[in-house]
Structure 1
Amino acid sequence: MLYERYGMRLKQLLLAPDLWVPIPRSADRERWEGIVPESREMWISLAERYTDYAWPAIKMEDYMAYWKVGEISKLNLALFERRSVLGILSIAEAIEGKGRFLDQVVNGIFAICEETTWVTPGHRNHWDVDKEERLPSATEHGVELFTAETSALLVWIRYLLQDRLDGISRRIGERIVAEVRNRLLTPYLEHDDYWWMGYREGVRVNNWNPWCNGAVLTGFLLLEDDPEVRRIGIAKAMSSLDAFIRTYPADGCCDEGPSYWSPSGGGLYECLELLHLASEGRIDIFDERIVRDIGAYLYKVHIHGPYFVSFADCDAKANPGGDVVIRYGRSTNDEAMEKMGLSLPSGGQPSTTIWFGIYGYLRNIFQEKKGTANRNDAPYVRDAWFPHTQVMTARERDGSEVGLYLAVKGGNNEESHNHNDVGSFIAFADGYPLFVDLGTEEYSAKTFGEQRYELWYLQSQYHNLPTVGGVLQRNGGAYRATNVIYGLTDDMAELSMEIAEAYPTEAGIDSWRRTARLIRGNDAAIEVVDAFAMRDSAANAVFHSLVTPCRPEMIGPGRIQFEYAEGRKAILIYDAEHLEARSEPIEHMESRLKRNWGDRMYRIVLEEKTEVARGERKLSIRLATD
């Protein structure tokens, strides 16, 4: 798409580096003095915290901890903090223009350039290196997320403050150029075998592709002074981005989940925006259906406020940043997406414990917001269906969070950031969580290793799914939903599927037909119906799991009540003749789950009173009226 249309004409299409001004440089005092006062005050007050900042050491014991005990948080936090503080100081210096933060900017640049590696230990596993070696090498460079983010940060700082830095010493900019070339641009040109590039047969790429390619484009567009090398690098990035677009689900659904949309769909947008700006609009694929659908996905899976449909590793509370969503909507002429962006918080105050996306912050500073909106102005799309990914969303009424909300997934158990969750569902009431997908904990070596599915929150028994004969769903593309049927009328939306193949043969399931539906109208309800039969009519033990942040209250046979918001309750109705209900607190939660759900969650277990060979069970969820 990109390469075919534009890849051979880049010298004619692109502005030269010295002519391209995507963001006002610090020397353009009129533009920087004209930013909104709130933004100016925020960045300067943040930077004032770090005028005497002691740059944290990068300890080799923290690097080796990944290999010894699977711990990565200490190392990552030190890396994030260094980069975030440098970004804050640099933007504040561009805003104020008085030199007050320059010494610390230089300190930060050299602290980061002196790091032995920008590659975190877990990411070394993505290419052929000595896996027995637990310490980094100053010559072992490769293109991965930390290298990409670090390079982009330094390139933009050099672009913004070059005259100021050159006034101190030209060696500052020269060091940035040397390190970015050595660690990012040269390895990128030398390799076609990075998995995320999209050149390996049968390997589907994910958010790494636009994330890394965005940094690569930034480097070649702003830093590379050899026109032919610049052309080759940008053309290769286009080709790689084509692979991302080509292998993206054709319905635009981000199967990694909305909290990964920012580097995935949002990352693609920023790549396309860079190319559009650098060519004065001559490179433009914003009218392509897949590009529009990748953006539209975000508002189709928005529930209310910070909550989005959160299957897989995704956080339930996502903040894609309203500014990039607004720009995406305007570029694709999608009014609903622009409206979604206006309803979301802007990029806001940066954290020092996560990635510092300097390009996004700079664009936000100079972005004109058209109109005002609040959270109630989100589009609140009534129905959405993603046929390729097999995800359905439905709410009681268009344009409002009031009432019941249902999301259901089919798919398979080899999706990006996969959980074993084929057939699971999410239910909300009035925009509040009722039955949910937990998400994931802080990453560790185990998260992406061979023991991944030993993590309890990835298993089907901690999703809204049945467990048969003590056997859980299995990971892999062969474990999937089949015969998936979506139905929609004004009065009802439903998704029906066969989920037997999501379980291994030892579960003994011949057929398990799950149908989840939202019924609208005066008798609104969510119904989940399971019709099942065991192989050879052999009776088996079965229990059904439901995960909720609401404290359950058993109010009678076949009825459990949940207070989902103060004074507002929902009732779960189940077949008390066949099912015995119990509630288990989920207390072994750590920081990431607690950020989404609080200190405690509950698992409802509806267990068959006797072993069963076949049957049909219906769960009904209704809002309490008294």
Structure 2
Amino acid sequence: MRSESLGELLGGVDPGQLRSRLGIPPLERREVWAAADSITIERVLAEAEADRGRPWADALGSLFVRYVRDGDRATYERAVADRQERLTRAVIAAAATEDQRWVDEAADGAVVLCEQSTWSLPAHDDAHARRGFALPDVTAPYLDLGAGEIVAQLAVADRILGVRWDDSWPGLRERIRHEAEVRVFTPFETRDDLWWLGYWREVNNWNPWILGNVVLAAVLLLDDGERVARLLARALDSLDRYVAELPADGAIDEGVAYWWNGAGRMLELLDTVAAVTDGRLDARDIPVVAEVLRFPMRMHLGGEWYVNVADGWARSRGHEPWQLPFRWGSLIGDARVVAWAQASRRHGEPVAGVAGGLPRLVRALVDGAWRDATPLDAPLPAAVWLESVQLSVRRGEAGSAEGLALAAKGGTNDENHNHKDLGSFLVAAGGRPLLVDIGKPTYTAQTFSAERYGIRAMQSGWHNAPAPLGLEQGAGPLFAARVLAAPGGEPGPRNNADAPFELELAGAYPLEEGDSWRRTFRLCAGDAGGPARRIEVADVWSLRDAGPNRVHLVAAGDVEAVGPGAEVEADGHRIRIVALHDGAPVEPLREVWELDDPELVAIWGPRLTRLVYAVPGRSGSLTTLIEELS
């Protein structure tokens, strides 16, 4: 939408009225804060009290330059996150109690962030690439995810505590606006070279994430309605590039983990747009918006566990903003999305966490419907087929995590946050993954460098994929799987939902013309349509060379050899794996990976085990049978 049209919608509207439309209550709205979820407030107050006994975290220059020196980005990021989380707790404590101690604590946090040399994170800042700096270039601030998060947090803090800060901290609000202008608004208005705007390359989750925070901050901090209209027009023009890349089936190739800070951020931005335009720009009836909203619900395996692809993690981190899909499911009238969100609502637990950021925490705190929501059973669709990313998810019966679930994917090796995972699959028993997609370890400088695929977790050899002639899959759009037979499943009609999923995988590897490696996945239905207890994965190949072909399986849990097969157990769930090479059992080689990365340990525990099946020959077959054990 052009800025002139937005100017007409926003023209003549008092900036204070625009801010009030966002539903972020200032401290003076005592009736709102008195009704906020008491359990969450009590948790935040207890944590805030603990904060007061320690100094604010030091985001030192020596931590920032580690990214250039040794690739460590996490230590500096953790220090900045610690500052932000402490500020969030202080703002909520001040709003809940009106105690001047917390007003002062929040002001200290705002000053700490204003005095931080950069709001950009070291892995994103462009000063090293442009000028060879190890430190940020304060004369040309870079607008990244970190800057967007900080400006939105300060804007919401200013909205809530502004009147009290005017009384006891005169000048602070002006300082916040100055830093927001220099670090965010001016770069956003004047720099077309920011790649995530989509003017010269494809976009990913950065686009809606940053845009939503910039627009929220602009509405809350700027008093010039015409400028707000221009900023909003620019944001919507950029967002169009993200929306244009969303497939009709709503799939997110970055996976569920990135949905929260990609498509979910888009929904929050659309909420802001609808609010400030008084409902005259409302996206709830756009079909792709509804399908994108349903994506994480369709990837749910049960409990904390999800189908994960690319850099995503398989387990809920516990601080996802569940109020977001709850609200949007209610808006579009999708009872299953609402039920999925409520499946993570816990009696006696906070409505949201501090780690999700101040804007998301405030939205959850003041949403009475979410506060009063009771836990429901997750819908767990029986069959999902997302053609755009060639991803199939199957289970024996809808609404139940019992039995086995199978997720398998094709696609290309040019996806966002790509791993070489074509033809890979995962198997969950009782909702708990036992044959797994590892996900990402802690990000370092290597992660998004030319050495990315030197990271074990991103290699096809550490996915549940074949290795024809012992080869790794290739990287880039030319390396792709081809669907030979696809099962049905939502979002389309469920015709042939019980049909096998078959892929030609030769195109994923640097093989000769005419080589073939076909993989077929079958979920065998249980008795009377009940939980599935058996999965078959059939590989059939025909190659010009007779190399050392291998098939890999990565297991999480305790793995033991039983006869020619293997058994995997975790959290009381157990499966047996038997592989037949041209009809004869083949015993796998076991390789144990003792994990030392904290992100991987938090999800999988102390180790992963790779089962390696050697299957020589120019042609042949391997049938992998996976059965649930009671």
Bucket of the pairwise TM-score, normalised by the shorter protein: over 0.9
Q: Give the distance between the partners of 2:596 and 2:457, measured in 1 at CA.
A: 9
- Asked if 1:560 corresponds to 2:569, the answer is no
Q: Give the distance between the partners of 1:166 and 1:12, measured in 2 at CA.
A: 31
Alignment of 1:479-490 (within 5 A): 479-488=479-488
* SS of structure 1 residue aligned to 2:522: strand
The answer for the alignment partner of 1:101 in structure 2 is 102
- Asked if 1:289 corresponds to 2:287, the answer is yes
Cα gap change, 1:217 to 1:7, in 2 (>3 Å): farther
- Asked if 1:497 corresponds to 2:503, the answer is yes
What is the deviation of 1:349? 8.1
Alignment of 1:2-401 (within 5 A): 3=1, 8-13=5-10, 15-19=13-17, 20-21=19-20, 22-125=23-126, 129-130=130-131, 132-200=132-200, 203-318=201-316, 319=318, 320-345=320-345, 348=350, 356-369=356-369, 372-374=373-375, 377-401=377-401
> Which deviates more from structure 2 when the two are superposed, residues 469-478 or residues 569-578?
569-578
**Structure 1: gaps of 5 or more residues:** none
The answer for the alignment partner of 1:527 in structure 2 is 536
Q: Give the distance between the partners of 1:7 and 1:505, measured in 2 at CA.
A: 55
The answer for the alignment partner of 1:510 in structure 2 is 515
Q: Give the distance between the partners of 1:574 and 1:167, measured in 2 at CA.
A: 73
Q: Is the 8 A contact 2:148 2:184 kept in 1?
A: yes
The answer for the alignment partner of 2:600 in structure 1 is 593
Q: Give the distance between the partners of 1:572 and 1:126, measured in 2 at CA.
A: 51
Q: Give the distance between the partners of 1:129 and 1:332, measured in 2 at CA.
A: 45
Q: Give the distance between the partners of 1:82 and 1:153, measured in 2 at CA.
A: 11
Cα gap change, 1:349 to 1:442, in 2 (>3 Å): farther
Q: Is the 8 A contact 1:322 1:343 kept in 2?
A: no
> Which deviates more from structure 2 when the two are superposed, residues 154-163 or residues 102-111?
102-111
Q: Is the 8 A contact 1:13 1:283 kept in 2?
A: no
Q: Say which of 611, 614, 620 aligns to 1:604.
A: 611
| Structure 1 outlier segments of 4+, above 6 Å | 349-352
Q: Give the distance between the partners of 1:495 and 1:323, measured in 2 at CA.
A: 35
CA deviations over 1:400-452 (Å, ceiling 9, x no partner): 11111011111011111110001100111111212110001111000111111
- Asked if 1:574 corresponds to 2:579, the answer is yes
> Which deviates more from structure 2 when the two are superposed, residues 183-192 or residues 475-484?
475-484
> Which deviates more from structure 2 when the two are superposed, residues 37-46 or residues 179-188?
37-46
Aligned length: 609
Q: Give the distance between the partners of 1:150 and 1:493, measured in 2 at CA.
A: 49
2:43 maps to a residue whose letter is M
Q: Give the distance between the partners of 1:339 and 1:605, measured in 2 at CA.
A: 40
* SS of structure 2 residue aligned to 1:107: helix
- Asked if 1:471 corresponds to 2:471, the answer is yes
Q: Give the distance between the partners of 2:473 and 2:27, measured in 1 at CA.
A: 55
What is the deviation of 1:492? 2.2
Q: Give the distance between the partners of 2:297 and 2:291, measured in 1 at CA.
A: 10
The answer for the alignment partner of 1:615 in structure 2 is 620
What is the deviation of 1:10? 4.1
What is the deviation of 1:495? 1.6
What is the deviation of 1:483? 3.6
1:137 maps to a residue whose letter is D
What is the deviation of 1:59? 1.5
CA deviations over 1:513-550 (Å, ceiling 9, x no partner): 11112121337421111111112xx2111111101113
What is the deviation of 1:562? 2.3
Q: Is the 8 A contact 2:594 2:607 kept in 1?
A: yes
Q: Give the distance between the partners of 2:539 and 2:14, measured in 1 at CA.
A: 62
* SS of structure 1 residue aligned to 2:427: strand
* SS of structure 1 residue aligned to 2:123: helix
The answer for the alignment partner of 2:446 in structure 1 is 446
1:8 maps to a residue whose letter is S
Alpha-carbon RMSD across the aligned residues, in angstroms, is 2.1
1:247 maps to a residue whose letter is E
Cα gap change, 1:490 to 1:470, in 2 (>3 Å): closer
* SS of structure 2 residue aligned to 1:142: coil
What is the deviation of 1:204? 2.1
**Identical amino acids, percent of aligned pairs:** 30
What is the deviation of 1:24? 1.4
Q: Is the 8 A contact 1:408 1:426 kept in 2?
A: yes
The answer for the alignment partner of 2:491 in structure 1 is none
What is the deviation of 1:617? 1.4
Cα gap change, 1:530 to 1:126, in 2 (>3 Å): farther
1:497 maps to a residue whose letter is L
Q: Give the distance between the partners of 1:452 and 1:105, measured in 2 at CA.
A: 40
Q: Give the distance between the partners of 1:336 and 1:278, measured in 2 at CA.
A: 29
> Which deviates more from structure 2 when the two are superposed, residues 300-309 or residues 119-128?
119-128
Q: Give the distance between the partners of 1:512 and 1:7, measured in 2 at CA.
A: 56
* SS of structure 2 residue aligned to 1:573: strand
CA deviations over 1:219-241 (Å, ceiling 9, x no partner): 22111112221111010011111
What is the deviation of 1:119? 1.5
Q: Is the 8 A contact 2:410 2:483 kept in 1?
A: no
Q: Give the distance between the partners of 2:514 and 2:591, measured in 1 at CA.
A: 26
1:416 maps to a residue whose letter is N
1:166 maps to a residue whose letter is D
**Structure 2: gaps of 5 or more residues:** 489-494
Q: Give the distance between the partners of 2:135 and 2:526, measured in 1 at CA.
A: 62
* SS of structure 2 residue aligned to 1:337: helix
Q: Say which of 554, 579, 582 aligns to 1:547.
A: 554
Cα gap change, 1:13 to 1:287, in 2 (>3 Å): farther
Q: Give the distance between the partners of 1:491 and 1:519, measured in 2 at CA.
A: 12
Q: Is the 8 A contact 2:577 2:627 kept in 1?
A: yes
* SS of structure 2 residue aligned to 1:253: coil
The answer for the alignment partner of 2:590 in structure 1 is 583
Q: Is the 8 A contact 2:502 2:521 kept in 1?
A: yes
What is the deviation of 1:350? 7.3
Cα gap change, 1:490 to 1:248, in 2 (>3 Å): closer
What is the deviation of 1:491? 7.5
Q: Give the distance between the partners of 1:540 and 1:578, measured in 2 at CA.
A: 20
1:190 maps to a residue whose letter is T
1:103 maps to a residue whose letter is D
Q: Is the 8 A contact 2:556 2:568 kept in 1?
A: no
1:239 maps to a residue whose letter is D
Q: Give the distance between the partners of 1:270 and 1:514, measured in 2 at CA.
A: 40
Alignment of 1:390-429 (within 5 A): 390-429=390-429
Q: Give the distance between the partners of 1:268 and 1:414, measured in 2 at CA.
A: 23
CA deviations over 1:235-281 (Å, ceiling 9, x no partner): 00111111111112332111111111111111111101111122222
What is the deviation of 1:174? 0.2
> Which deviates more from structure 2 when the two are superposed, residues 490-499 or residues 293-302?
490-499
Q: Give the distance between the partners of 2:484 and 2:273, measured in 1 at CA.
A: 39
Q: Is the 8 A contact 1:467 1:542 kept in 2?
A: yes
CA deviations over 1:131-162 (Å, ceiling 9, x no partner): x2112222121210111101011111111111
Cα gap change, 1:160 to 1:624, in 2 (>3 Å): same
Q: Is the 8 A contact 1:90 1:157 kept in 2?
A: yes
CA deviations over 1:311-361 (Å, ceiling 9, x no partner): 111010125332111012112221111111111147948777xx5521110
